[in-house]
Structure 1
């Protein structure tokens, strides 16, 4: 017997690396040292920092992958993977520098997984970070045929004096919410339970979704906010805090950017709830509280600014074709979301 008899195809692995090489190299920044294929990726710190602080983050895509695998659509989940990591470290004010991915499957299908990596490369280009390396594990008997899982890890940098850690947030600061592109990459265990319990076909097109199929809507990739936020931080607008709205929705994530003895009072009628959330709540008979604590409900990212800079902040995001809403303000409290 040999390794192939055990279910691991070395030649398929080599073919996979060949297919992804151009996509990976398209993400390289000037600080990348060396090329693809080494045991470790090397990255030189950018110049111009007095006290550089490295900020790291890691995440996955969750059971959204199940939908991608059922529909045989793999080109967007790689974007999700990058987005979940870079949006997290962005809340500290960090610029993403490089990204690593881990991809595990039962049987390596080079064409399938090359689509995943193409999405990862797209996400890296959108966020300006290099896809520095990764690992592809073929694990026969651990995953079913056609199944795979992905995880990501990124590192960014911020000047220590500009690191956002909650201490800059002041009472009266206003929360400006940025629109999400859809469900993003959270709550898909509940999404799938709703779909399965109601026998909804993935290619069905409910009228509320405007002619888009259920599967297509749910596979919309997570919005990456890196470039517009970094440009905002480099402007005259003073940002005091930021939050990435992921699992747990606004109640879980918005208080994470606060200082001690602070809360955020939010007006739930101050932004547009996307049709996909109204549809899920309706067919699944999900209470509004459960929706708010599970999904982003149309908000993917929040910035906290001085009240005097609210209008200019909203106008700036609108100039970047990003819908922005004034949803609340910082008040005294015990670190919880308060419904105004």
Structure 2
């Protein structure tokens, strides 16, 4: 009896194992560039091995975080900026860890696509590696999933996961924030990786041309709208090591100035933020020119120019500002903490 069954391989189903292996070989240099002495095994094992040395800490506490890049990915894919996607996936995780005063130790990524395009996905991993090096964080593993039919051609998704450490006596969790504390704001690079469902709608309503539009300062719209999320880890690490007393940190992400400050304040405290204390970056003027967006909605959706906040005693503000500026940050005095008598977060200016 003849066998009329069609011969079938995994490649016929849309998954190319050889291409996957070639991709792993291509990204090895990028991954290896992030290694720390605590990493025991390189890329390719079933799990990443990390042997930490916490001998210099009294009570080491592991801090973990996971995040993605959100719908910004649609624009990064449309305008072919995989390197930015990689940086964003790291920044959204490590900045959250920094908000507890924790230093990142290692990072893992998850990349999923319909058809593996090595050039594009290698660009993502190289972005991840560059961000990890900036934060002295090891990229010790990841997963690249090729899933035909799950994603439109040219589309991919990315998730990041990070583990860091902080010495418990030095942990900054907001519990010591007090009436009279001052609020310092660190400048953002632009929208970072938040609010892009509105960004995309604004660009659509304004019939924007990102490649050719320019901002009021003469810069290209595409460079500012899709700028990578700023990595605040080096500056926050420097501040933690300086010995300056800090009462609270906040990473200004989804929910903007409102939600991310409220979440670290006790029930009896509130904050007043003077939005005139820093200049709103031209990229937000550009985006918000395309529709009528209420002021509260603007500051709840976008960071509006402040990507990270430091709360500390007034007497320590000058020293902290110097440490942060020496680490490369642009710093503004944006507000103060006071007893609650009404709204938790009030914007003036």
- TM-score of the aligned structures, taking structure 1 as reference length: 0.96
Partner residue in 2 for 1:237: 244
Q: In the alignment, what sits opposite 2:97?
A: 89
Listed as ranges, the gaps of 5+ residues in structure 1 are: none
User: What residue number does 1:330 align with?
Assistant: 337
**What secondary structure, in the 3-state scheme, does the structure 1 residue paired with 2:83 have?**
coil
Alignment correspondent of 1:226: 233
* Cα contact 1:75–1:118 (8 A) shared by 2: yes
C-alpha separation between the residues in 1 aligned to 2:103 and 2:179? 27
Match of 2:40 in 1: 33
Higher mean Cα deviation, 38-47 or 82-91? Answer: 38-47
Q: Which moved more, 1:245-254 or 1:160-169?
A: 160-169
The residue aligned with 2:279 is 272
1:290: Cα distance to partner?
1.3
Deviations 1:273-304 (A, max 9, x none): 10011111112222222111100000010011
Unaligned runs of 5+ in 2: 1-7
The CA distance in 1 between the partners of 2:110 and 2:80, in whole Å, is: 20
Q: CA deviation at 1:207?
A: 4.1
- Matching of residue 77 in structure 1 with residue 85 in structure 2: yes
Please give the per-residue CA displacement for 1:154-213, whole angstroms capped at 9, x wherever unaligned: 00001111112221211111110000011100011110111112221221223415131x
Give the equivalent residue in structure 2 for 1:140.
148
Residues of 1 paired with 2:273 and 2:209: CA distance?
Answer: 36
Partner of residue 168, structure 1: 176
Partners of 1:67 and 1:215 within 8 A in 2: no
CA contact (8 A) 1:281 1:288 kept: no
1:130 aligned onto 2:138: yes
Q: Name 1:149's counterpart in structure 2.
A: 157
Q: Measure how far apart 1:106 and its partner are.
A: 0.5
**Is residue 2:292 matched to residue 1:285?**
yes
> In structure 2, what is the Cα distance between the partners aligned to 1:167 and 1:63?
33
Q: Is 2:16 the partner of 1:9?
A: yes
Change in Cα spacing, 1:207 to 1:58, as seen in structure 2 (3 Å) is closer
Q: CA deviation at 1:270?
A: 1.0
Separation in 2, partners of 1:159, 1:316: 20
The corresponding residue for 1:200 is 208
Q: Distance in 2 between matches of 1:335 and 1:239?
A: 24
CA distance in 1, matches of 2:215, 2:332: 26
Does 2:214 correspond to 1:211?
Answer: no
1:186-242 superposed Cα distances (whole Å, 9 cap, x missing partner): 011110111112221221223415131x22222210000111111111113111110
> SS of 2:289's equivalent?
helix
Distance 1:302 1:222 in 2: 15
Counterparts of 1:162 and 1:311, CA distance in 2: 20
Secondary structure of 1:75 counterpart: helix
Q: Which residue of 1 aligns with 2:126?
A: 118
- Report whether the alignment pairs 1:20 with 2:23: no
DSSP-derived class of the 1:177 partner: strand
Q: Is the 8 A contact 2:242 2:323 kept in 1?
A: no
**Match in the other structure for 1:247:** 254
Aligned-pair Cα RMSD in Å: 1.3
Distance of aligned partners of 1:119 and 1:67 in 2 relative to their CA distance in 1, 3 Å threshold: same
Q: Judging changes above 3 Å, is the alpha-carbon distance between structure 1 residues 99 and 71 closer, same or farther for their aligned structure 2 residues?
A: same
Distance 2:259 2:119 in 1: 38
Q: How far did 1:44 drift?
A: 1.1
Matched residues in 1 for 2:215 and 2:38: separation? 49
Q: Which residue of 2 aligns with 1:256?
A: 263
Aligned-pair CA distance for 1:267: 1.1
User: How many positions carry a matched residue from both structures?
Assistant: 339
Asked whether the 8 Å contact 1:258–1:335 carries over to 2, the reply is no
**Matched residues in 1 for 2:326 and 2:170: separation?**
25
Q: Of the candidates 56, 67, 79, which is equivalent to residue 59 of structure 1?
A: 67
- 1:156 and 1:320 map into 2 onto residues whose CA distance is 20
**Counterpart in the other structure of 2:4:** none
